[in-house]
């Protein structure tokens, strides 16, 4: 199953670089969705998620350096470099835990009181259970959830996991200010008008995002911010964002928004109220 999924992903990745047509893109998206549904029980599937959305949906967002890793094979945790001797021992790790030193907290729930200099982060034992493999002594930006009665800090492959030194100016600016102040907005991954996100969000508060798999300007420089008049959200313009889009030969989202607003609303359902044939 994992094998098939990788092939599908490859197809999609190649598809975007070879400028496959829209139908092709949609088809591969459908295949991916289908495969994800089938393998949901066995493997980890994450939808592409914009950093702003990662920030907003997370319980915590921190910068932390990994000090030590422990792996749980069955009942208890052991050091990651120790291989269990018991031949009957399950060789597949169930869970990993990382002792980390936390440097910064960009987001934390007010109710959580367990912050120390050193905390443990928990994750699935393997990639199939969405586990994150962090490297020792590396500093990461990590987003995650707080779960269970003992308030475990949990991270997963579907969260925001990025080596801290690779964050750019705009991502740091987002973490410090823009993401937090715009969680009323929702960045959704869209293909045409099919968007992956909660259905109960007012569409005018959605910023559409079609990731470019080779160089995504939206992830690097995009903030989805509330309009000043409070009527919705839009992609905030900045010079780097614009230059990035120009060099990718991509359309500007702010120009598209304007077009969409000016275009008349066409009601296609002939049975809708108020529409009568003469």
Which residues here bind ligand NAG, judged by CB under 6 A? 16, 181, 184, 212, 214-215, 226, 248-250
Which residue, among 62, 253, 65, 64, has the nearest Cα to 175 in the 3D structure?
62
CB of 16 to ligand NAG, least distance (A): 6
The dihedral built from the CA positions of residue 186, 189, 191 and 194, taken in this order, carries a sign that is negative
Report the residue number, 181 or 258, with the smaller CB distance to ligand NAG.
181
CB of 245 to ligand NAG, least distance (A): 9
Report the residue number, 145 or 226, with the smaller CB distance to ligand NAG.
226
CB of 56 to ligand NAG, least distance (A): 11
Helix axes 2-17, 22-39, angle to 10 degrees: 160
Report the residue number, 80 or 226, with the smaller CB distance to ligand NAG.
226
Q: Report CA-CA distances (Å) from 205 to 19, 58, 72.
A: 30, 19, 42
Report the residue number, 73 or 106, with the smaller CB distance to ligand NAG.
106
Which residue, among 174, 247, 177, has the nearest Cα to 217 in the 3D structure?
247
* Cβ–Cβ under 8 Å, residues 192 and 26: yes
Report the residue number, 70 or 210, with the smaller CB distance to ligand NAG.
210
Distance, in Å, from the CA atom of 84 to the CA atom of 99, rounded to the nearest integer, reads 21
CB of 251 to ligand NAG, least distance (A): 9
CB of 196 to ligand NAG, least distance (A): 18
* Cβ–Cβ under 8 Å, residues 55 and 180: yes
Could you please report the per-residue DSSP string of 131-147?
---PPTT-EEEEEEEEE
Report the residue number, 36 or 212, with the smaller CB distance to ligand NAG.
212
């Amino acid at each position: 199953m994992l094998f098939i999924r990788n092939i599908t992903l490859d197809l999609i990745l190649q598809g975007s670089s070879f400028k496959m047509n829209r139908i092709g893109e949609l088809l591969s998206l459908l295949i991916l969705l289908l495969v994800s549904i089938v393998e949901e029980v066995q493997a980890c599937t994450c939808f592409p998620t914009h950093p702003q959305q990662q920030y907003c949906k997370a319980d915590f967002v921190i910068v932390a350096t990994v000090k030590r890793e422990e792996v749980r094979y069955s009942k208890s945790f052991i050091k990651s470099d120790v291989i269990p001797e018991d031949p009957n021992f399950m060789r597949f790790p169930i869970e990993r835990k990382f002792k980390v030193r936390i440097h910064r907290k960009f987001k934390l729930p007010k109710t959580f009181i367990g912050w120390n200099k050193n905390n443990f982060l928990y994750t699935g034992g393997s990639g199939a259970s969405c586990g994150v493999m962090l490297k020792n002594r590396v500093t990461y930006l990590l987003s995650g959830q707080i779960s269970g009665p003992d308030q475990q800090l949990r991270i997963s492959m579907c969260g925001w996991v990025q080596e801290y030194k690779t964050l750019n100016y705009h991502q740091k600016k987002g973490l410090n200010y823009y993401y937090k102040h715009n969680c009323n907005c929702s960045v959704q991954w869209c293909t045409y008008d099919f968007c992956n996100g909660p259905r109960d969000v007012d569409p005018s508060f959605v910023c559409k995002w079609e990731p470019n798999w080779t160089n995504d300007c939206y992830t690097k420089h995009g903030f989805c911010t509330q309009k000043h008049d409070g009527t919705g959200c839009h992609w905030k313009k900045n010079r780097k964002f614009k230059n990035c889009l120009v060099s990718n030969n991509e359309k500007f989202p702010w120009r598209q928004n304007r077009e969409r607003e000016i275009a008349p609303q066409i009601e296609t359902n002939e049975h809708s109220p108020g529409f009568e044939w003469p």
